[in-house]
Chains A and B, each alone.
Chain A
Amino acid sequence: MLRLNTEHLDAIHRHAAREYPAECCGVMIGRDEDEIKRVTEVVPLANLRHDGARAQEFIPLEDPGRESERNRYLIDPHEQLRVEKGARARGLAVLGYYHSHPDHPARPSEYDREHAWPWYSYVIVSVEKGTPRDSRSWVLSEDRSAFLLEQLEVEEAGAAAAQSY
């Protein structure tokens, strides 16, 4: 289960709306408490797909004519390293990543699955005509064959009440 609060979810939604019609992406940091990943920070990161040439240094492009920041995201690994170091120094861990699907549902594509890692929570936000609609969290199965919908629990910021999605 992934647990975050309303402020975290609002921050993800604001980022998704700001970047529309491009995909946004960012990292979720917090504590791994046995069965619960408890998010304590959400950090927006740049989508490296805005710079196709630089993106290509890290990942092979399948079809440059049809791939752009509107249907792809890629996080700069150097930024990841910086965020991971900062988290580790504070006794926290990277729990997963979020990204938006502009005018697409909040479910992973085949491309998402092919590029996913086990254990991480992948939160996907659907953005319809600029408005964030639906947020779902997904975890890759151990054998990499499927994405599994993960329970996403959203607490009121500063309160104990929680609502499950």
Chain B
Amino acid sequence: MAVKVIIPTPLRQYTGKQESIQLEAGTVGEALTGLTTRYSDLRRHLYTDEGKIRSFVNVYLNDEDIRYLSKEQTPLKENDVLSIVPSIAGGASSLSFAQDSNLRCICS
């Protein structure tokens, strides 16, 4: 099936600035494998070292979160659109006692 994958802005630097990628795949998993084979630098942002999709990465098939479909086994239809949506999370304080010292200035 010919499908389109929408790449979010922070990851476009790994796809030659392209905002969407066309590829052939039968399942969501195949599409993501195809994508990270073509653009290998994407892999570490989408998968853990164990080869699982990172929990901070959301994948939507058209308007549905694949968590509530069949995850990576979800079958694709011709012209389906997959969107990679990075989780946006944070918060004021650390729960650990680690120092919040990894800050530098790039002001000009």
A interface list, Cβ under 8 A from B: 1, 23, 25, 32, 49, 57-60, 62-63, 66-67, 70-75, 77-78, 80-81, 84, 88, 93-95, 97, 99, 101-104, 107-113, 115-120, 122, 138-139, 141, 145-151
Contacts and interface: CB of A to CB of B under 8 A. Distances in A.
Nearest to B96: A110
* Top 9 A-B pairs, shortest CB-CB distance: A72-B91, A112-B90, A119-B10, A104-B92, A146-B102, A77-B58, A101-B92, A117-B10, A110-B94
Contacts of A115: 56, 87-90
Contacts of B58: 58, 77
Nearest to A165: B107
10 contacts: A1-B108, A49-B91, A77-B65, A77-B85, A110-B94, A111-B93, A112-B90, A120-B9, A149-B105, A151-B107
A81 B63 contact: yes
Given A77-B58, A94-B9, A150 B106 contact: yes
B105 to A, nearest CB: 4
Interface of B is mostly: loop
Nearest to B19: A88
B87 A58 contact: yes
A139 B10 CA distance: 11
A74 B58 CA distance: 13
B19 to A, nearest CB: 7
B34 to A, nearest CB: 21
A85 B92 CA distance: 29
Contacts of B19: 88
Interface of B: 6, 8-11, 13, 19, 55-56, 58, 60, 63, 65, 67, 83, 85-96, 98-100, 102-108
B55 A109 contact: no
A61 to B, nearest CB: 10
Nearest to A27: B88
A39 B57 CA distance: 25
A71 B95 CA distance: 10
Contacts of A93: 9
A77 B48 CA distance: 20
A108 B93 CA distance: 9
Contact of B90 (A84, A109, A149): A109
A43 to B, nearest CB: 12
A15 B83 CA distance: 28
A44 to B, nearest CB: 13
A109 B87 contact: no
B48 to A, nearest CB: 13
